[in-house]
């Protein structure tokens, strides 16, 4: 299965993402978007929620269907506390290795898990590893989902990183409209990585406050676009 070069480069190349029609930022937003992939996690997700609540911040959680089915009440807590729930996948697999019908079924199952847990449909999607196959991107859009990647990342999944490195990477040259990628789970990354992310998040939220950068949700930008 061959993928378009633009789809492969989209996570790290602004021009490739634009060519594929995949957003990496929220143009016109007055703050930055904090996003977390791979949960919900029994330890990582509550830790992030507590920090976000303490600082009055909001975030988008791109969740995995197989994890949602294991702990639907935790996902309901995410939504109840004012955060946005979005779809990552049902099983964390690279789209390039999946047949088109398998990707479509993965989207269906993941979306159903979210709707069963919180009673609402997800509107946003991010592919595992940030890589869309051409068929996968078509399936996402046919499912009524909007793809969103990121413009800043902490690379917090790495085994040998530190909270300070995560913060430095994620906030370097940060501007309003940037989308920051973090992870609230270690299911698909280095064991215990969510603990370093939590430590980094505490520092990051203080730094954002010092820069007077609010945290925003993608849905807010969609709403403002419709209201002009």
Q: How many Cα atoms sit within 13 Å of 20 on the Cβ side?
A: 33
Nearest partner of 179 among 17, 65, 39, 9, judged by Cα: 17
State the burial class of residue 56 (Cβ atoms within 10 Å of its Cβ: 0-12, 13-18, 19+): exposed
Element (H, E) at 63: strand 59-64
Distance CA 32, CA 52 (A): 14
Residue with tokens 């029994």: 42
Q: Does 37 qualify as catalytic in the annotation?
A: yes
Q: How far apart are CA 37 and CA 15, in angstroms?
A: 23
> Using CB atoms within 10 A of its CB, is residue 212 exposed (0-12), middle (13-18) or buried (19+)?
exposed
Distance (Å, whole) CA 17 – CA 28? 18
Q: Which of 41, 92, 125, 183 is catalytic?
A: 183
Q: Is 74 helix (H, G, I), strand (E, B) or coil?
A: helix
Dist CA 43 CA 37 (whole Å): 14
The single residue of 7, 37, 178, 184 carrying the catalytic annotation is: 37
Nearest CA-CA partner of 146 in 128, 124, 114, 131: 124
Does the annotation mark 186 as catalytic? no
- The residues annotated as belonging to the active site are 37, 183
């Amino acid at each position: 299965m061959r993928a378009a070069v633009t789809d492969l480069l989209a996570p790290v190349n602004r021009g490739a993402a634009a060519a594929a029609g995949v957003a990496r930022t929220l143009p016109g937003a007055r703050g930055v978007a904090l996003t977390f992939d791979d949960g919900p996690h029994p330890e990582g997700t509550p830790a992030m929620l507590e920090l976000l609540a303490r600082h009055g911040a909001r975030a988008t959680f791109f969740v995995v269907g197989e994890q949602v089915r294991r702990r639907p009440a935790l996902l309901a807590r995410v939504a109840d506390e004012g955060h946005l729930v979005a779809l990552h996948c049902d099983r964390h697999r690279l789209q390039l290795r999946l047949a088109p019908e398998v990707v479509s079924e993965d989207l269906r199952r993941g979306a159903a898990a979210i709707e069963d847990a919180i009673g609402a449909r997800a509107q946003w999607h991010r592919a595992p590893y940030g890589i869309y196959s051409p068929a996968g991107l078509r399936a996402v859009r046919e499912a009524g989902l909007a793809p969103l990647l990121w413009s800043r990342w902490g690379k917090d999944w790495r085994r040998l990183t530190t909270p300070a490195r995560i913060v430095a990477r994620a906030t370097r040259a940060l501007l309003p409209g940037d989308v920051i990628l973090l992870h609230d789970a270690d299911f698909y990354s280095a064991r215990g990585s969510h603990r370093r992310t939590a430590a980094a998040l505490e520092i990051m939220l203080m730094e954002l406050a010092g820069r007077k950068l609010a945290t925003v949700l993608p849905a807010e930008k969609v709403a403002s676009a419709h209201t002009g």
